[in-house]
Amino acid sequence: MAGRGTPATQRLERDGVAHVLHAYEPGAGSYGAAGAAALQVEPERMFKTLLVDLDGRLACAVVPVSGSLDLKALAAVLGGKRAAMAEPAAAERSSGYVVGGISPLGQRTLLRTAVDETAELFDTVLVSAGRRGLSVELAPTDLVR
Burial of 86 from C-beta contacts in 10 A (0-12 / 13-18 / 19+): buried
Secondary structure class of 59 (helix, strand, coil):
strand
Going by C-alpha positions, the residue among 25, 19, 39 that lies closest to residue 104 is: 19
Is residue 59 a contact partner of residue 51, using CB atoms and an 8 Å limit?
yes
Query: pTM for the full model?
Result: 0.93
Quickly count: other Cβ atoms within 10 Å of residue 66's Cβ: 16
Give me the tens of pLDDT residue by residue for the chain, a chain 145 residues long. 444 799 999 999 999 999 999 999 887 667 788 889 899 999 999 999 999 999 999 999 999 999 999 999 999 999 999 999 999 999 999 999 999 999 999 999 999 999 999 999 999 999 999 999 999 999 999 998 7
Measured between alpha carbons, how far is 76 from 92 in angstroms, rounded to an integer?
A: 24
Q: List strand residue ranges (DSSP E) for 79-118, in order.
A: 83-85, 112-115
Give the helix/strand (H/E) hosting 1.
none
Structural domains present in the chain: 16-144 (3.90.960.10)
